[in-house]
Amino acid sequence: MTKNVLITGGGRGIGRAAAIQCGRRGWSVGVNYARDDKAAAETVAAVEAAGGNAIAIKGDVAVEKDVIAMFDATIQAFGAITGVVNNAGIVASGSKLADMSLNRLTRMFAVNVTGAYLVAREAARRMGTDRDGPHGLNRGGSLVNLSSAAARLGSPNEYVDYAGAKGAIDSMTIGLSKELAPVSIRVNAIRPGLIDTEIHASGGVPDRAFRLAAQVPLARPGTADEVANAILWLLSDESSYVTGALIDVSGGR
């Protein structure tokens, strides 16, 4: 069944991999991104080359009007949204909490918590069968939140702020899955471990996934495609009886 999916942070990494896999299924994708126009355009082209449809939508998930606009743009382009991948997130340089600035903490939680909650709120409004959509009642759908293994590991001496933000995503997933089940929205979360993506470079350690690979029982970093495989399963009808799940894609770590 053809689906219309909005992916936040879809211009690179896990979001890009998920977008391309949606394209391989012939689905339509709204590719949200924050800054990199070129990367977003390349993702759109890759989705289309894979057999899907896509548009790029610039916007900051920490800004309410941007979140509303990205949902509006996706619906205008493709019709009712049936899947949302709540993926946009940031990390900062490794640091102990005692040395973190207020500016760092404010931005970390604005994007990774408030932004994720805003996206989840709009997903509830745009997919829930208790609300009118552009063509009558919404059809329901699947919300996939991107958490992290850091939520249960804590990331001491590096990213306790990021870990705490992802812990909030776990709690939101569990509660929202119960809240939205009656309106035909399934809510689940993926918790990636050490994945070889650009996010490590944004934290100042581009080879971090390989540097810490010895801590992983499978003895290697994961790939964005391996995480995207789990995301696509949760978006698809193959997971129709799964909601409220926190799925680790972490190599056993």
Pairwise pLDDT comparison (215 vs 66), residue with the higher score: 66
Task: Look at residue 1 in the predicted model and tell me its pLDDT.
Answer: 76
Domain 4-246: CATH superfamily, name plus number: NAD(P)-binding Rossmann-like Domain (3.40.50.720)
Task: Look at residue 219 in the predicted model and tell me its pLDDT.
Answer: 87
For residue 40, which amino acid is it?
Answer: A
For the stretch 4-57, pLDDT in tens is 999 999 999 999 999 999 999 999 999 999 999 999 999 999 999 999 999 999
- Between CA 58 and CA 70 the distance in angstroms is 8
- Give the pLDDT band (50/70/90) at residue 201: very low
Q: Catalytic: which of 117, 159, 162, 241?
A: 162
Task: Look at residue 162 in the predicted model and tell me its pLDDT.
Answer: 97
92 touches 203 (CB < 8 A): yes
- The answer on pLDDT for 58 being more than 80 is yes
- Between CA 148 and CA 27 the distance in angstroms is 26
- Give the pLDDT band (50/70/90) at residue 199: low
Residue whose tokens read 């958490």:
147
Average pLDDT over residues 219-246: 97
pTM of the model: 0.94
- The answer on pLDDT for 59 being more than 90 is yes
Average pLDDT over residues 172-198: 95
Helix (H), strand (E), coil (C) string for the chain: CCCEEEECCCCCHHHHHHHHHHHHCCCEEEEEECCCHHHHHHHHHHHHHHCCEEEEEECCCCCHHHHHHHHHHHHHHHCCCCEEEECCCCCCCCCCHHHCCHHHHHHHHHHHHHHHHHHHHHHHHHHCCCCEECCEECCCEEEEEECCCHHHHCCCCCCHHHHHHHHHHHHHHHHHHHHHHHHCEEEEEEEECCECCCHHHHCCCCCHHHHCHHHCCCCCCECHHHHHHHHHHHHCHHHCCCCCCEEEECCCC
33 in active site: no
- The answer on pLDDT for 217 being more than 90 is no
The 10 Å Cβ neighbour count of residue 37 is 11
Percent of the chain having pLDDT more than 70? Answer: 96
- The answer on pLDDT for 205 being more than 90 is no
Domain boundaries, the chain: 4-246
Which residues lie below 8 Å from residue 241, measured CB to CB, with a gap of 6+? none
For the stretch 98-118, pLDDT in tens is 999 999 999 999 999 999 999
